[in-house]
Amino acid sequence: MSHLFANYNRLGVAFESGQGCWLKATDGREFLDFLSGIAVTSLGHAHPRMVKALQAQVSRLLHVSNLYEIPEQEKAATHLSRVCQQERAFFCNSGAEANECLIKLARRYAHEHGLPPVITVTHNSFHGRTLATVSATGNPKYQQGFEPLVPGFQFVDFNDLKAARESLEQCCAILVEPIQGEGGVIPATSDYLGGLKSLCEEQGKLLLLDEVQTGIGRTGSWLAAEHYGVKADATALAKGLGGGVPVGAVLTSEKLSQLMGPGSHGTTFGGNPLASIAISTVLEVIEEEGLLERVRTNGHLLREGLKRLAGVTEVRGVGLMLAVITEDPAAEIAERAYQRGLLVNAVRPHAVRLAPPLIITETEVEKGLEILEACLCPQSSVGAKSASSA
Ligand SMILES: *Cc1c(COP(=O)(O)O)cnc(C)c1O
């Protein structure tokens, strides 16, 4: 009998090791990882730089407390500020916590400026599982049975600028994902984010972006907002930021960071030496290995390859954050892929999500495409071929 909560639907496989884009199961099977633990292991598994940096840090210090100065945290903040063009960082431990910080920041802003302490959020969004972030999530599936929800959120349709404009008077901030991830990989339309930014600027409201899944190279730029030419007032990061070490962060301006003065907010673990070294290493490797460029190139290759496959009706997403819209149920495709040694995930009934590590090679993109082709048309002879070579 398991002594764990039964809150996850787990697949019957466990992994014992990994290398780059490959995972090895305890029964010896090998899998090509096109999911990265849901957009987390951005440098793949056991990246030599990561192994070395973490091993060295573990032998020095794991944790000290934010009661003290943490040079590793300063270094991570400096690097993050430079690449993401923001002035200040707050470190926490997960995406939900990063969004909690955005929500608290918005509440402080509202109180300071005499605005309604209400945040406009969108239907079909996902912001996390804590009580406030689940209340901000536009999907009743995650909220049912946890009522009363946290008040102070109003919902509008995603990509509906008019609805956002009409909601603005009754709020202090707007919180959106540039590309809805759990919602099925749905990018903001080209004028949506820019439109929100202008509205917010005009009316003195905050534009808060949840880049927990899209941030840190996933879409081929440091932040997905860059594709839209938009700079948020504050941004939440997590998933890919620590390359597998649990971390989260909020980035904002010097001025807005002052809303969170001494004692206003905090966390025991956030930005501890181990987490900070993981963040710095991820950022360094992305720069030194030119991974943003690589994500753009290989993302393009993957997308074009997917579009050519029979049984695919649409390909959504940017860079290496993609969803394939399939004629067959996505769960069936994901199961067939698993049987053939490829890890993907059914993010919606007809949407298969692909989020391979940023370090993926052209050969691995092609290998993944070959397996997917076989899964989309399981009767064809192509299927038998890739199964045997997987
Ligand atoms: C995964 C995710 C979260 C929640 O992150 P956790 O680390 O699971 O708390 C929040 N927002 C978005 C957009 C996500 O993809």
**Pocket-testing residue among 131, 239, 348, ligand 1, by greatest number of atoms within 8 A of Cβ:** 239
**Contact criterion met (CB below 8 Å) for 274 and 234:** no
Ligand 1 center–CA 210 separation, angstroms: 8
**Pocket-testing residue among 182, 214, 237, 348, ligand 1, by greatest number of atoms within 8 A of Cβ:** 182
Predicted pLDDT at 377: 82
Question: In angstroms, rounded to a whole number, what is the distance separating the alpha carbons of residues 35 and 273?
Answer: 27
Measured CA angle at 180 (ends 45, 13), to 5 deg = 35
Kindly state if the Cβ of 31 falls inside 6 Å of ligand 1. Answer: no
High-pLDDT (> 90) share of the chain, %: 96
Query: Could you list the active site residues?
Result: 126, 210, 239
Kindly state if the Cβ of 127 falls inside 6 Å of ligand 1. Answer: yes
Kindly state if the Cβ of 243 falls inside 6 Å of ligand 1. Answer: no
Kindly state if the Cβ of 221 falls inside 6 Å of ligand 1. Answer: no
Predicted pLDDT at 380: 58
Query: pLDDT class for 46, splitting at 50, 70, 90?
Result: very high
Ligand 1 center–CA 382 separation, angstroms: 37
Quickly count: other Cβ atoms within 10 Å of residue 144's Cβ: 8
Query: pLDDT class for 381, splitting at 50, 70, 90?
Result: very low
Question: In angstroms, rounded to a whole number, what is the distance separating the alpha carbons of residues 147 and 130?
Answer: 12
Kindly state if the Cβ of 210 falls inside 6 Å of ligand 1. Answer: yes
The model's pLDDT over 190-237, given as tens digits with 9 standing for 90+, comes to: 999 999 999 999 999 999 999 999 999 999 999 999 999 999 999 999
Ligand 1 center–CA 59 separation, angstroms: 30
**Contact criterion met (CB below 8 Å) for 298 and 220:** no
- pTM of the predicted model as reported, rounded to 2 decimal places: 0.96
Question: In angstroms, rounded to a whole number, what is the distance separating the alpha carbons of residues 70 and 272?
Answer: 7
The model's pLDDT over 1-34, given as tens digits with 9 standing for 90+, comes to: 999 999 999 999 999 999 999 999 999 999 999 9
Task: List the residue whose alpha carbon is closest to atom 6 of ligand 1.
Answer: 95
Structure tokens at 63: 């944790």
The model's pLDDT over 278-294, given as tens digits with 9 standing for 90+, comes to: 999 999 999 999 999 99
Is a pLDDT exceeding 70 seen at residue 173? yes
Query: pLDDT class for 384, splitting at 50, 70, 90?
Result: very low
Ligand 1 center–CA 126 separation, angstroms: 7
Is a pLDDT exceeding 80 seen at residue 387? no
Is a pLDDT exceeding 80 seen at residue 385? no
Is a pLDDT exceeding 90 seen at residue 388? no
The model's pLDDT over 175-201, given as tens digits with 9 standing for 90+, comes to: 999 999 999 999 999 999 999 999 999
Structure tokens at 265: 């907010």
The model's pLDDT over 302-358, given as tens digits with 9 standing for 90+, comes to: 999 999 999 999 999 999 999 999 999 999 999 999 999 999 999 999 999 999 999
The per-residue DSSP string of 243-306 comes to BTB--EEEEE-HHHHTTS-TTSS--SSTT-HHHHHHHHHHHHHHHHTTHHHHHHHHHHHHHHHH
For 379, counting Cβ atoms within 10 Å of its Cβ (0-12 exposed, 13-18 middle, 19+ buried), the class is exposed
Predicted pLDDT at 386: 45
Residue bearing tokens 């534009």: 207
Query: CA 128 → CA 98, 237, 253, 290, 315, distances in Å?
Result: 9, 12, 24, 31, 25
Query: CA 2 → CA 5, 6, distances in Å?
Result: 8, 9
Predicted pLDDT at 378: 74
Q: Report the pLDDT averaged over residues 134-148.
A: 98
How are beta strands 206-210 and 173-176 bridged, if at all? parallel
